[in-house]
């Protein structure tokens, strides 16, 4: 009898072409996703070397990072910043030259790469997917092996060969158990995990998220969990495919059809980890008493329940951690002992590949309906399809009547590549995945949280326990 294997073991072995001394293995890539942020360097290298894209039909380009969230009707002419316009145009030019399908700014399927991959049914269980983006792990929620790669040499290698050299990571499983309390979400779960294990807690591992909480989650919630695997130190996050996965994929444009669907289901059901599979590391999380989480520092591990206070560095024994917290509080302009629920904010952003799907927008709209924002706030849907779905449900009217800006899909204020940034010294309540110094703009002060919590901050002007606003 064969030895029990994990999901990672199974998918990895199905893609190995050849090993080489030192432990790396050459893997076949099923789908390579590229976007405009830095990819032009890889295409330039291909030109210099006289190479073509090896499998253009298995490569998809998406414009998302630099795409404006306003003035889209004007097309490329609406991008007033010449550097940003150049980056957007370069991807269009490169995809035409190399024969790659491109979802550009005017495409009805346009959206953030990690939103539209699952949305279009391109992301499927068992596939090995690469993308020049650190949040590629998002798509592992579909039972795929989604690996982030570098924007120059690694991307060039995949484009030129449809293969990737990788060292297999160790297996780690995080078992999340219990029923989530009301108004506590997937974003709160992953922030709680990162706060517990730290941003280096999963380095060198591929994390499989399992347990009753995960099994009860929607596909969109699972995508949020896997999205922030990189913030815990793991480059790969995965959830075993199940009936929730199959129901989500059924009928999507690129999902298998007819007899191919039945064949795919049979294969997908073989992928989950065997019952006795060995994981090098396991962690158990009980969420039954979890409260909504917010970050207070300059790292995703700097997060606490909204009911807590800003920590006192003097109480931290580890000297390195103490110094880092001191620096974080200095940057964030926060005093130890300050109740998190009393921190005022200057603006609110709801968007990003972490939290801009339809379920996220519904949760935020439920909080703001019948209320008014007291600070500038914007909603940037994760895709054009999400935007249209929200509009068909009247969510846009709820946001607009509450005082939010309702914008077009892009990465927007997550990293600010398109010019959507937080002013220096302003404090932001954000649904994004990172709160590093300057992440949302030079000198910006970022607190990350769930969409419902960000909505609560918008209508109160401070970090607020959304449970206090529950109807």
Domain-wise residue ranges, the chain: 7-167, 170-240+261-286, 295-469
pLDDT digits (tens, 9 = 90+) for 258-316: 999 999 999 999 999 999 999 999 999 999 999 999 999 999 999 999 999 999 999 99
Give the residue from 69, 79, 71 showing the smallest Cα distance to 111.
69
Identify the pLDDT of residue 152: 67
User: At residue 182, does pLDDT exceed 90?
Assistant: yes
The alpha-carbon radius of gyration of the chain (Å, integer) is 22
- Please name the residue that has the structure tokens 């999963």: 202
Read off the pLDDT of residues 9-43 as tens digits, 9 standing for 90 and up.
999 999 999 999 999 999 999 999 999 987 888 99
- Mean pLDDT for 108-132 is 97
The mean per-residue pLDDT over the stretch 89-116 comes to: 96
Domain 170-240+261-286: homologous superfamily in CATH: Aconitase, Domain 2 (3.40.1060.10)
Q: What integer pLDDT is reported at residue 151 of this predicted model?
A: 73
pLDDT at 320: 95
Residues 157-177: what's their mean pLDDT? Answer: 97
Cα-based distances in Å from 288 to 43, 128, 194, 220, 435: 49, 34, 17, 20, 26
Superfamily name and number for 295-469: Aconitase, domain 3 (3.30.499.10)
Whether the per-residue pLDDT at 219 is higher than 70: the answer is yes
Closest CA to 135 of 446, 422, 445, 432: 432
Residues in contact with 180: Cβ distance below 8 Å, sequence separation at least 6, in sequence order: 188, 189, 213, 216, 287, 290
Least confident of 35-44, 138-147, 196-205: 35-44
* 224-264 per-position pLDDT tens digit: 999 999 999 999 999 999 999 999 999 999 999 999 999 99
1: confidence class by pLDDT, cuts 50, 70, 90: low
Q: Is the pLDDT of residue 205 over 80?
A: yes
Q: What is the rounded CA–CA span in Å between residue 123 and residue 34?
A: 14
Highest CATH level, class, for 7-167: alpha beta
pLDDT digits (tens, 9 = 90+) for 403-462: 999 999 999 999 999 999 999 999 999 999 999 999 999 999 999 999 999 999 999 999
Task: Provide the 10 A C-beta neighbour count for residue 80.
Answer: 11
CA 294, CA 450: separation in Å to the nearest integer? 8
For the chain, what is the mean pLDDT? 96
Start-to-end CA distance of the chain, whole Å, equals 56
| pLDDT tens profile 47-82 | 999 999 999 999 999 999 999 999 898 889 889 899
Q: What is the pLDDT of residues 306-357, one digit of tens each?
A: 999 999 999 999 999 999 999 999 999 999 999 999 899 999 999 999 999 9
Predicted pLDDT at 123: 98
Cβ atoms of 62 and 103 closer than 8 Å = yes
Domains 170-240+261-286 and 295-469 share a fold: no
User: What pLDDT is stored for residue 17 in this prediction?
Assistant: 98
Q: In whole angstroms, how far apart are CA 145 and each of 30, 123, 126, 210?
A: 10, 10, 7, 16
pLDDT score for 471: 73
pLDDT of residue 191: 98
Q: What is the Cα–Cα distance from 160 to 142, expressed in whole angstroms?
A: 27
pLDDT of 155: 85
Would you say how long the chain is, in residues?
Answer: 471
pLDDT at 37: 81
Angle of helix 358-368 relative to helix 219-227, nearest 10 degrees, comes to: 100
Q: Residue 365's pLDDT band (boundaries 50, 70, 90)?
A: very high
Residue matched to tokens 């995809």: 95
Average of pLDDT values for 122-138? 97
């Amino acid at each position: 009898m064969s030895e029990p294997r994990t999901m990672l073991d199974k998918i990895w072995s199905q893609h190995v072409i050849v090993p080489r001394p030192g432990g790396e293995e050459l893997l076949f890539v099923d789908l390579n996703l590229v976007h405009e942020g830095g990819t032009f360097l890889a295409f330039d290298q291909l030109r210099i070397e006289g190479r073509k894209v090896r499998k253009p039909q298995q490569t998809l380009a998406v414009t998302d990072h630099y795409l404006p969230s306003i003035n889209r009707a004007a097309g490329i002419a609406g991008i007033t910043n010449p550097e940003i316009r150049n980056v957007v145009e370069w991807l269009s030019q490169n995809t035409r030259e190399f024969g790659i399908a491109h979802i550009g700014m005017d495409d009805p399927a346009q959206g953030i790469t990690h939103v539209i991959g699952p949305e279009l049914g391109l992301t499927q269980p068992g596939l090995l997917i690469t993308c020049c983006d650190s949040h590629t792990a998002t798509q592992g929620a579909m039972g795929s092996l989604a690996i982030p790669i570098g924007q120059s040499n690694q991307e060039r290698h995949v484009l030129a060969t449809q293969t990737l050299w990788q060292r297999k990571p160790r297996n780690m499983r995080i078992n999340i158990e219990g029923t989530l309390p009301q108004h506590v979400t997937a974003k709160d779960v992953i922030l709680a995990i990162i706060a517990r294990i730290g941003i280096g807690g999963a380095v060198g591992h591929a994390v499989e998220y399992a347990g009753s909480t995960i099994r009860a989650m929607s596909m969109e919630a699972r995508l949020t969990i896997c999205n922030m695997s990189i913030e815990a130190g793991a480059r790969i996050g995965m959830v075993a495919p199940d009936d929730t996965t199959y129901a989500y994929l059924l009928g999507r444009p690129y999902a298998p059809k007819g007899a191919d669907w039945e064949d795919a289901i049979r294969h997908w059901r073989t992928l989950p980890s065997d019952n006795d599979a060995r994981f090098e590391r396991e962690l158990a999380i009980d969420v039954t008493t979890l409260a909504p989480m917010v970050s207070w520092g300059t790292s995703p591990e700097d997060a606490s329940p909204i009911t807590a206070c800003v920590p006192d560095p003097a109480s931290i024994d580890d000297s390195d951690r103490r110094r880092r917290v001191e620096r974080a509080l200095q940057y964030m302009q926060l005093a130890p002992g300050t109740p998190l629920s009393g921190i005022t904010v200057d603006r609110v952003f709801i968007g990003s590949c972490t939290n801009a799907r339809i379920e996220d927008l519904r949760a935020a709209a439920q909080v703001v309906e019948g209320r008014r924002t007291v600070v500038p706030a914007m909603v940037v849907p994760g895709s054009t399809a999400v935007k249209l779905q929200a509009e068909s449900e009247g969510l846009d009217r709820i946001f607009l009547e509450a005082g939010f800006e309702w914008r077009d899909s892009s990465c927007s204020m997550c990293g600010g590549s398109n010019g959507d940034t937080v002013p220096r010294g302003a404090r932001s309540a954000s649904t994004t995945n990172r709160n590093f110094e300057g992440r949302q703009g030079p000198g910006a002060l970022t607190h990350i949280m769930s969409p419902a919590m960000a909505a609560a901050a918008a209508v109160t002007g401070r970090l607020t326990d959304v449970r206090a606003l529950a109807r």
